């Protein structure tokens, strides 16, 4: 797990919420907001909830606005671009806590597994 502390459930909560809603929120203003970790990795902050994205934008005093992204858009467009440009996903940063930074591949795998669980729950295991 990418989290530094065992009691930080932001990543697991994010995956569960996003699989249920089938979308994420990111911040957009003439392009997606990108930030850099202390080690120099570029990442795009993404959130499960609009209010989290809005709060983060206000906290960093950004002109970027929360914008919804479907899971299809995330996986088939944004993550493709991120892989090409070596950009990571920054999960649920807050003014007090840094983003949980994961690779697009890790995020994609975790989201697909969670989405399968949600679908099995909704429709029964079809396999």
Q: What is the pLDDT of residues 42-99, one digit of tens each?
A: 999 999 999 999 999 999 898 999 999 999 999 999 999 999 999 999 999 988 899 9
Residue 124 within any structural domain of the chain: no
Residue 31 within any structural domain of the chain: yes
Residue 83 within any structural domain of the chain: yes
Residue 109 within any structural domain of the chain: yes
Q: Are 97 and 10 in contact (CB under 8 A)?
A: yes
Residue 89 within any structural domain of the chain: yes
pLDDT for 55 equals 93
- Give the Cα-Cα-Cα angle 112, 113, 118 (nearest 5 degrees): 95
Report the percentage of the chain scoring pLDDT > 90.
75
Q: What average pLDDT does the segment 10-28 reach?
A: 94
pLDDT for 126 equals 61
Task: Give me 89's structure tokens.
Answer: 């996903």
Give the CATH number, domain containing residue 32. Answer: 3.40.1350.90
Residue 98 within any structural domain of the chain: yes
Asked if pLDDT for residue 3 goes beyond 80, the answer is no
Q: Are strands 23-28 and 42-47 parallel, antiparallel or unpaired?
A: antiparallel
Residue 4 within any structural domain of the chain: no
How many domains does the chain divide into? 1
Residue 2 within any structural domain of the chain: no
Which domain range does residue 88 map to?
23-117
* Confidence tier at 6 by pLDDT (50, 70, 90): low
């Amino acid at each position: 797990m990418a989290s530094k502390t065992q009691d930080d459930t932001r990543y697991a909560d994010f995956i569960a919420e996003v699989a249920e809603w089938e979308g994420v929120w990111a911040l957009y203003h003439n392009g997606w907001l990108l930030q850099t970790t202390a080690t120099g990795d570029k990442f795009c902050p993404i959130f499960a909830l609009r209010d989290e994205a809005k709060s983060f934008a206000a906290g960093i005093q950004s002109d970027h606005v929360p914008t919804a992204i479907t899971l299809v858009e995330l996986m088939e467009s944004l993550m493709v671009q991120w892989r090409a440009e070596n950009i990571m996903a920054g999960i649920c940063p807050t003014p007090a806590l840094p983003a949980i930074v994961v690779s697009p591949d890790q995020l994609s795998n975790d989201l697909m597994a969670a989405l399968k669980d949600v679908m099995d729950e909704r429709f029964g295991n079809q396999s």
